Amino acid sequence: MESSILLNDTVIAVISLSVLLFQGTATLILLSRLLKGAIRRPPLKPQSADPEMLGKVSVVVPTLNEAERITPCLEGLGQQTYEVREIIVVDSNSQDGTQELVKNAGLSDPRFRLITDDPLPSGWVGRPWALHNGFLYSSPRSEWVLGIDADTQPQRGLVASLVRAAEEEGYDMVSLSPQFILRDAGEWWLQPALLITLLYRFDSAGVRNQKPERVMANGQCFLSRRSVLEALDGYSCASGSFCDDVTLAREAAKQGFKVGFLDGKNLIRVRMYEGVQETWKEWGRSLDLKDAASTSQVWGDFTLLLLTQALPLLLLIVLASLWLVGEHFLLLQLAIALNILLVIIRFALLFAVFPSYYKDKSLLVRSLLFWLSPLADPLAVLRIFLSSLQTPKQWRGRSYGNE
C-alpha cells in the first residue's frame, strides 16, 4: 500500500514538473508578446486628405465571383476623396455579375476601372496574380498602391488616414487589422478562437520594430510604396503563397524596408466568410501561415498554442482532480496556479479584442457566444494543426491540385 501511494505521488510530481517546465517556458514566451500590446500604437482614426495627397494612391481590388458582397466595398472606395487617383478592379472572369456591378460604379465615378487578368500561370495563386496585374496596370504617377479585398467595407477617411500614418512614421508597407462582421452563432463562438491564435503567435497590431520572421500583415487592406513593389518585382516573391500578404511583408522586411501592421478597426470592416463551416474551411487552411515561415517556426508556434491556448482548461481540470485525491505538493499547486493564470489571460483577451467586432443589436443573443469562445480553443488549435499538414487544393473558387 505504501509503495502504491509512493508511486502515485511520484507520478503526480512528474506530471507537475513537466507542466511547469514546458508550459511555463511557453507562458514566458507568450507574456513577452502580449505585454508589448500595452505600449502599442493606438488605433488609426478617419482623417481628411490634404492637398499634398492629390492622386497619391492607386487602389487594386482582386475579384472572382464577388457579386454578393462587393457592393459595400465599391461604395466605401467611392467615398474616398482626391487622394485616390484610380480604383482598379482586377477580375478573374467572374460569372456572377461582379463585372456589371463594377461597370455600374464606374458610371458615377470615373476612377473605377475594370480589367481582366490573364489566365493563371503555373506556380501562381489567384490572389497575388490579380494584385500583380493590378500593380503593373496602375499609373506610375501614384506613389502608393493599396490592395483592398472585395469582402471589405472601407470607411470614409480610410485611405487618407493610412497614407498619413505611413508617411509620418516612415513605413514602406503598412496593413490594417479590421473590424470583423459576424452573424451566425457558430461564427461568434469559433472565429474569436481562431483570431486569438494570431495574438498568441505574433505581436499585436500597432507594435513596432518586429523581426522580419515575426512580421504580420493583412492583405485585406495593404498599402505599399510603388518603389518598394518595383524593387520586389511586384508580387512575384509571393506568387505561390496562400498567405501572400504575410509572405510579401516578410520579404520586404528582410530586404530592409520598414513594414507596419496597425489597428484599423475604425477604418475598415470585413465580412470574411458566411457561417462557421466556411470560416473553418477557408480561413483555417491559411491561418497556419506556413507559406511565409520555416518548418521549425510553424511547429514551434503550434506547440506554443497547444500549451498555452488549447490545453489550460483541460489541464486545470486534471490537475485539480489530482489535488483533490492526493497530497498537496508544492509543484502541483504551482502547476495549477500556472493554468489558472493562462485561463485568466485567455478570458482577459476577450475584452481586448471585443472592439474588433462590429456590434449589431439584432444579433445580440448570438454574439453572447463570443464570451464562450475559449471553449473553442482546442478546435482552433486543431485547425492550425490540420492546416500545417496540408497543402490547399482549392482556394476561392480555384483548384490547385494539379500544380
CATH code at position 74:
3.90.550.10
369 in the same domain as 222: no
| CA angle at 213 for the pair 253 and 197, rounded to the nearest 5° | 125
Does the structure show a pLDDT above 80 at 298? yes
Structural domain for 103, as ranges: 51-195+203-290
Domain end position, chosen among 255, 290, 325: 290
Does the structure show a pLDDT above 70 at 327? no
- So what's the pLDDT on residue 174? 97
283 in the same domain as 142: yes
Strands 152-154 and 144-148: unpaired
- So what's the pLDDT on residue 397? 66
317 in the same domain as 237: no
Burial level of 236, CB count in 10 A (0-12/13-18/19+)? middle
126 in the same domain as 209: yes
Does the structure show a pLDDT above 60 at 1? no
123 in the same domain as 29: no
Domain end position, chosen among 241, 258, 290: 290
Cβ distance 266 to 352 under 8 Å?
Answer: no
**Nearest alpha carbon to residue 113 among 149, 159, 59:** 59
Does the structure show a pLDDT above 50 at 3? no
Cβ distance 228 to 185 under 8 Å?
Answer: no
Residue 261 lies in a domain: yes
Cα dihedral value 200, 206, 212, 217, nearest 10: 80
**Nearest alpha carbon to residue 107 among 83, 78, 146:** 78
**pLDDT (mean) for 153-162:** 98
**pLDDT (mean) for 89-106:** 95
CA distance 37 to 4: 48
Residue whose C-alpha cell is 516573391: 237
Does the structure show a pLDDT above 80 at 374? yes
Rounded to whole angstroms, what are the CA distances from 128 to 131, 152, 272, 388?
A: 5, 17, 18, 21
Residue 148's pLDDT band, with cuts at 50, 70 and 90, is very high
326 in the same domain as 178: no
CA distance 81 to 102: 18
Does the structure show a pLDDT above 90 at 64? yes
139 in the same domain as 225: yes
Number of separate domains in the chain: 2
- So what's the pLDDT on residue 114? 97
